Every structure is written in C-alpha cells, then in structure tokens.
Amino acid sequence: MSNRLMRLRASRHLRDLCAETEFTRAQLIQPLFIVEGLEHDEPITGLRGTARQNIPSALRQIERDLENGVTQFLLFPVPGEKKLNQFNHHFSQQAISAIRRQFGDDLCLWVDTCLCSSTTHGHCAVLDDARINLDATLNELAQAALAFAEAGADGISPSDMMDGRVARIRTRLDEGGFELTPVMSYSTKFASQFYGPFRQAADSAPQFGDRRHYQIDVRHRTDALACSERCAEEGADLLMVKPGLTSLDLIRPIHERTGRAVGAYQVSGEYAGLALLAEQGLTNFDAALRETWHVFKRAGAQYIITYGARYARQLGI
Ligand SMILES: [Zn+2]
C-alpha cells in the first residue's frame, strides 16, 4: 500500500516530528477565586485543585503556582457584602494590590470585570425592575476597570456581554492614564449549562431568571461571530470563546475576521467533567486534560484559561 497514513504514527519520534500543536505554560491562564471574609479554604465541587480562598491563602497559592511555572492568572474577586446594583470595589482592590505588592512583575494579573459577584440579584448588569439599564451598567463596568487598574491589575477582562462595554472601559482606562492596560474580552460567551461549579465558586448565580437575554444562544453562529467582531472594533486586545470545547468551530473564523488573538476558556463544567470521570476510574485525568489543551491549540486558540494550569509542569508542559 503506497498511501499508508499509519506509517507516520508508528513511533513516538515520528509522532513528535509531525505534531502541529505545541504550546508553553506561558499561554495557560490560571483562575483564582479570592473571597472576602473566609476563614478557611473552601474546595469547589468538581474543580480539582481549585478552592475559594482568602487573601493570605491565595498569596501562598500563587507562590506555589509561580514555583510550578504558572505566570498568568485570572482573578475573580468575590466581595462579602453584596449591593443592589453596584460594584463593591473595595475588596477587589485590596486583593489586587496585595498580589501586586508581593509578586511585582513576576506574574501577569488579569481581573474579571463583571457585576454578578457584587450584586444582590446576581445578574451581570444594573437592573431597573428586572430590565437592564445599559448606560448605568457600562458606567459601573468602566469605573470598576479603572479601580482595578489603579490597584495594580495588568489587564481587564469584561465578562458581562453587554454591548458597548469594551469601548466604555477603553475610554475610561485611557482617560485614567492606563493607555497600555490591555482588555481581554469574553467576546463570544454563550448561555451554557457548563458553568455550574463556577457559580458556586464566584457566588454569582442569578437570583431570578437566567442570562439568555445577554449571553449568546448556542444555536446562533452569526451572533457568536458578530459579538467578537464588535469587541475587536471597540478596542479589545484579546478575544475569547467560552465555553471552549463547545466553541471550537468559532476560534479560527473569529481570528480570521478580526486579526486578533483568540483564546479558549475551558470552563468549570468542562474541567469538572474530566475530574469526575477520573474519580469514577473512567479516564486518566492528566492525559485527558492534556488532550483537551492540544485540541484548543489545534482549533487555533492562542491561549487557554484552565483550572489545570497549575498542573502543566506535572503534565510535562
Ligand atoms: Zn457576570
């Protein structure tokens, strides 16, 4: 047989020779949940290796992560006191500046910017009687972005999906003298059933209704592409698909349309799925995790946000 595709799979060396996906730890981003008022770490169901932590515990965690070669972090600050329609900036700023003081430029700190962990209703917007007040929402987001940059964030990550947020955030950052602070936008974010463990971690479950009036319907490819194009036009530096595994088909098209780097968020439900399968003896966690990361790369992802970033060295990456 002259055309035998199996020939190049016959040894490890040949497989490595032909590998088309490769990445480094520098392209993996580790989420952190820092929660106000916690006495002890609280493990999160399904999120192997990830806990809700107070500031001192998170600082110790980051130190271990840096030793393991993690340099990129995405911080989810969870304030203890919720407000009706407002950010509670104080605790977030405290967490950001504690990290900055201790670690200087040893790490790159992105900060998730969304109202749902701060508000009593748990929605990602300012609501007037259950209706989104867009202008007030954009104002809150821009204020928060500036507060986070002032506290020492390296980058701002808006995850709310409101039209116009990137433009408003960009303007406010520039006015505040943070022209070089990048925006990594959750640009194509679907309403999804894969966010369960995260909502527990970030204490951000909506208290009524759902998020379908601002997150993308999974059936809508045109909308999914348009949302990332919109964010690029508004000045987002990095784009993202979320959930990662259910959005693989969109990564390359978004990159081709916008010319921006696109990352994949391996969300809590995807990651927990692997951990729970492994707990039942139905998969090898390390190998399955590595497999999914290679698939994100093959689909064109520039970077991957994953709860397993801190295991990368252990996985030989
Ligand atoms: Zn939100």
The DSSP letter of residue 8 is G
Does residue 82 or residue 26 have the better pLDDT? 26
**pLDDT in the model for residue 97:** 98
- Rounded CA separation 255/265 (Å): 15
Give per-residue pLDDT as tens, 197-223. 888 888 888 888 888 889 999 999 999
pTM of the model: 0.96
**pLDDT in the model for residue 189:** 97
Confidence of residue 280 (pLDDT cuts 50, 70, 90): very high
How far, in Å, from the CA of 75 to the mean position of ligand 1? 13
**pLDDT in the model for residue 96:** 98
**pLDDT in the model for residue 65:** 98
- Alpha-carbon torsion (299, 226, 217, 272), positive or negative: positive
The DSSP letter of residue 121 is S
Over 80: is that where the pLDDT of 6 sits? yes
Residue 30: in which H helix or E strand, if any?
strand 28-35
User: At 132, is the secondary structure helix, strand, or coil?
Assistant: strand
Over 80: is that where the pLDDT of 1 sits? no
**pLDDT in the model for residue 109:** 98
- Rounded CA separation 232/262 (Å): 11
Provide mean pLDDT across the span 178-196. Answer: 96
How far, in Å, from the CA of 201 to the mean position of ligand 1? 13
Give per-residue pLDDT as tens, 221-258. 999 999 999 999 999 999 999 999 999 999 999 999 99
**pLDDT in the model for residue 178:** 97
Among 79-93, 159-173, 256-270, name the one with the lowest average pLDDT: 79-93
The DSSP letter of residue 246 is G
Is residue 219 within 8 Å of 190, Cβ to Cβ?
Answer: no
How far, in Å, from the CA of 117 to the mean position of ligand 1? 7
Catalytic site includes residue 82:
no
**pLDDT in the model for residue 307:** 97
How far, in Å, from the CA of 124 to the mean position of ligand 1? 4
Pick the catalytic residue from 82, 83, 242, 297: 242
Catalytic site includes residue 189:
yes
- For the chain, domains (ranges, CATH) are 23-311 (3.20.20.70)
How far, in Å, from the CA of 27 to the mean position of ligand 1? 24
- Looking at the DSSP assignment, which residues form a beta bridge with residue 78? 35
- Alpha-carbon torsion (113, 165, 229, 218), positive or negative: positive
Over 90: is that where the pLDDT of 23 sits? no
Give the total residue count for the chain. 317
What are the start-end ranges of the H helices in the chain?
Answer: 12-17, 55-67, 89-103, 134-151, 165-175, 196-202, 221-233, 248-258, 268-279, 285-298
Over 90: is that where the pLDDT of 47 sits? yes
Amino acid residing at 310: R
Name the residue among 200, 254, 205, 206 with its Cα closest to residue 226. Answer: 254
User: At 244, is the secondary structure helix, strand, or coil?
Assistant: coil
Give per-residue pLDDT as tens, 120-178. 898 999 999 889 999 999 999 999 999 999 999 999 999 999 999 999 999 999 999 99
**pLDDT in the model for residue 211:** 87
How far, in Å, from the CA of 15 to the mean position of ligand 1? 42
Pick the catalytic residue from 82, 83, 189, 297: 189
How far, in Å, from the CA of 22 to the mean position of ligand 1? 32
